[in-house]
Structures are given as C-alpha cells and as structure tokens.
Amino acid sequence: MSLAEERALLTAKRRRGGGVVIAAAAAVFAALALAGVLPSAYALGGFAIVAAAAGLALRSAKDEDRLAQPVVMAERSDGFLRAVVAGLPDPVVALDRDGRVLALNDRARALAPALRQGEPVAFALRMPELIEAIGRAAAEGEEQRVVYSERVPIDRWFETIVMPVKREPNAAHPDFVLVTFHDLTPLRRVEEMRADFVANASHELRTPLAALLGFIETLQGSARDDAKARTRFLAIMQEQARRMARLIDDLLSLSRIELNAHRRPDTPVDLVPIVRQVVDGLQTLARDRGVTVTVDAVNAVPVLADRDELVRIFENLVENALKYGAAGRRVDIKIGPGASADGEPEAQVSVRDYGPGIAPEHLPRLTERFYRVDVTESRAQGGTGLGLALVKHILNRHRGRLTIDSAPGAGATFTVHLPATAAAPIR
Ligand code: ADP
C-alpha cells in the first residue's frame, strides 16, 4: 500500500471512530437521564462536552490530513522525477535545495559510484567548483556551468550544467536542482588530433620547402657560375619538390576518403587482377631493390569496392615491403578467401616480406598519421608517413581491416581483410 493510501485509510478510521464516540456518548447520557441517575440538564451538558471533544478530534484529524496533502504530492512528483531522470540519455542527478540526492540515473551512478539517494552530493563529488555552483544555483535560481577534468584513471573532460527547477513558475526558490554531465572527452580528443595533424603536416611541408629555398639562394649566390653544383642541386631540388607533391597528394586523398567514409562502396570487383596490376607497376622498383615478388592467387576473389582505392592500398603495402623489407630479397603475396575471427567469410590479401621486421611496441601505432618507426629512413625512402593511415581509412570505408604480424628479424606480414561478397558480375 502506498503512503498516500495508508494516510487516507487512517483518516477514514479516525472519522468512523469520532462518530462512534458521539453515538456512544448520546446513548450513555440518555440511559442515565432515563434511569434518573442524572438530571436531564446534566445529561445534555455531559453529552455536549463529549460530542464537542470528539468533533474537535475529528477536525484536527481533517486538518492534519489537509496539511499532509503537499507531502503526498511531493512523493508523487519525486517518483515522477526519478522516472524522468532515469530516462535521460546523459548522466543526471536531481538534488533538493540542500544538495541532497533526490534521484540519479545509471549513467550518473557509473560516473560517480559514491552517489547515493538521500545523501548530500558533496559526499560523492569532490569538486569544490561544482559543489559551489550547485549552492549558487539553489540560492540564486540561476543556471550554472562548470568545466572540469579528471586525470585518473584516464584523462577525461566534462561540462556540468547545473539547472535550478521550480514546480511553480512564480515560486521564490527552486524546488530542486538538476545536474547534467556532458562528456567532452571525444570532442577534446578530436580537437587535439586536428591540432597535431596540422602541426605535423606543416612540419612535413616546411622541411622540403626550407631545403628548396636554401638551394635557390645558393644558386643565386655562391654557386651562380658553378655548372656542376647547379646540376647536383637541381636534382636535390627536384626530389624535394616531388616529396612535397606526394605529401599534398596523400593529404588530399586522406580528406577525400574521410569525406566519403560513410558511403560504403558497392561495385563488385575482382581483387586478383587489381593486385597483379599493382605488382606489374612496381616491377622497376622491385628490380632496383633486388627483390623478387611472387603472387599466389585463386581464380577470382570478388569484393564490393572502389577500384582506385584498392589500387592505393596495395601500392602502399607492396611499396613498403619493397622499401623497408628489401633486405629479405623476396616479397610473397597471397590472395584468397578466408574467414574472420567470428567465422564471417572474407577476402584476404597478405603481403609478406623477409626484411628486418617491426618491434611489437610500434605495431599498434603504425596506422597513425605521420607515425614512422624510423623517420630518417622513411624520408630517405621518400615516405610521407601517411601510407598506412590511408590504407586504414580506405579499409574502414570498405568495412574491412588491416592486420600486421611481425617480429624483429622475422620480416612482416600485412594482411588486408575485406567482407566477401556473393559471386556477382565483375565490372
Ligand atoms: P611511410 O611513408 O613512412 O612509408 P607508412 O604509413 O606507409 O609511411 O608506414 C609507416 C611506417 O611503418 C614506416 O615509416 C616504416 O617505419 C614502417 N613500415 C611499414 N611497412 C613496413 C615493412 N614492410 N617493414 C618494416 N617496417 C615497415
């Protein structure tokens, strides 16, 4: 039985009790008067006193009941408040004017496990700025915002909105205060990444640009009439200018792929001729590096893809194997059907080299933009540090993924996994 129902029952009982007392008193005094024990005037007076007392008791019970009404209302609205708070998508805590927790949802509980209904919020949240803001919101009835960060266990940023709420619009004070937490961490991370990216891209462009400017000055000055130096410098300048062009090309490709990230390619294509075409295109580089490339493939491996983007993936992987794994003198490529860890059919292309391999601490970061194991070597090889980032982005768009197996001294295997498609006409 709810508290309100219990109270109603009690009032009804009291009323019934009052009526019984008056009726009993009337009967007793009438009997006494009839029996001649009490003169009728005294009997009437006695009855009047008892009836008045019973009536008073009844009235005070009614008053109590009337006074109890707001409590019942408050309970009803607290239940409503709890239901509303539970249904909100952000972590939310509702507090009374004294800062005691009236309601909180599961997300708020996950954020601050020490929060307890009925206890002061200050017991659980040790953020003086926030506690002060809650006090101000309750006293002044004005919305407050507090941004704070946590360092432990990981860096997180929050914006907290403290909103005083009145049940009646014209009430002098808020009835409760709603505290909503907005997790700003993903936004901050994106901001940091963007800032890092711009800084890295500018740095990568500034280095060849500085070299170009330096050589131009030398050619205009001390080397003006030195034909041999001019030939040498122009060759270096050409290489630096090409590096800038490659970088800009990669940056543009990255942003174009990101723009289309949500659109999954839907053209059925066969992986086998694409990989063979890439290998043919890199034969000169392979010969220069003294590397033999083998391709082991079944008849056809159809996938839904953007052909040009697939070419880009395999160019990057085979080129990396030829550049960084040249010491192994062999690169083996395998194309075929396979299955993902959870048994889904996949198309897989693995590019294996027998070079120096990669230490395990680098593996998780290789697909980050501008991440290189050895910056000098990457630059010497004409790398931009964006190749594997491009591969990862293209694969994301295709709902595929890249896995890397490597150990120092044991070469490296980069495997492309793409969702298999039912054999469809290959365009
Ligand atoms: P880069 O333009 O520097 O080649 P990538 O994103 O393609 O950029 O590769 C990132 C880094 O990963 C390279 O700088 C290199 O250190 C490492 N790497 C890539 N492929 C191989 C490989 N087959 N063997 C060893 N290291 C590799």
State the distance from the centre of ligand 1 to the C-alpha of 289, rounded, in angstroms: 16
Does the C-beta of 324 come closer than 6 Å to ligand 1? yes
Distances 263 to 49, 63, 254, 308, 394 between C-alpha atoms, Å: 89, 69, 15, 15, 11
Q: What is the pLDDT of residues 57-83, one digit of tens each?
A: 445 545 444 444 544 555 566 788 899
Nearest CA to ligand 1 atom 20: 320
Position 7 scores a pLDDT of: 47
Give residue 89 CA to ligand 1 midpoint distance, Å: 42
Q: What is the pTM of this model?
A: 0.66
Alpha helices by DSSP H, listed for 87-184, are 106-111, 121-124, 128-140
- Confidence class for position 40, pLDDT limits 50, 70, 90: low
Q: Is the CB of 325 under 6 A from ligand 1?
A: yes
Residue 411 in contact with ligand 1 by CB distance below 6 A: no
User: For the segment 320-358, what is each residue's pLDDT rounded down to a tens digit?
Assistant: 999 999 999 999 999 999 999 889 999 999 999 999 999
- Distance between Cα 415 and ligand 1 center (Å): 14
Ligand 1 contact, 374 CB (< 6 A): yes
**Is the beta carbon of 378 within 6 A of some atom in ligand 1?**
yes
The average confidence (pLDDT) of the chain is 85
Q: Is the CB of 291 under 6 A from ligand 1?
A: no
Per-residue pLDDT tens for 127-154? 899 999 999 999 999 999 999 888 877 8
Q: Which long-range contacts (CB under 8 A, 24 or more apart) does 363-366 make?
A: 363/404, 363/406, 366/404
* Residue 272 alpha carbon to ligand 1 centre in Å: 24
* CA 381 / ligand 1 centre spacing (Å): 10
Exposure of 245 by Cβ count < 10 A (0-12 exposed, 13-18 middle, 19+ buried)? Answer: exposed
Ligand 1 centroid–CA 75 distance in Å is 65
Separation CA 184–CA 191 (nearest Å) = 11
Report whether residue 355 contacts ligand 1, using a CB cutoff of 6 Å. yes
Instruction: Indicate if ligand 1 lies below 6 Å from the C-beta of 383.
Output: yes
Across residues 18-28, what is the average pLDDT?
Answer: 53
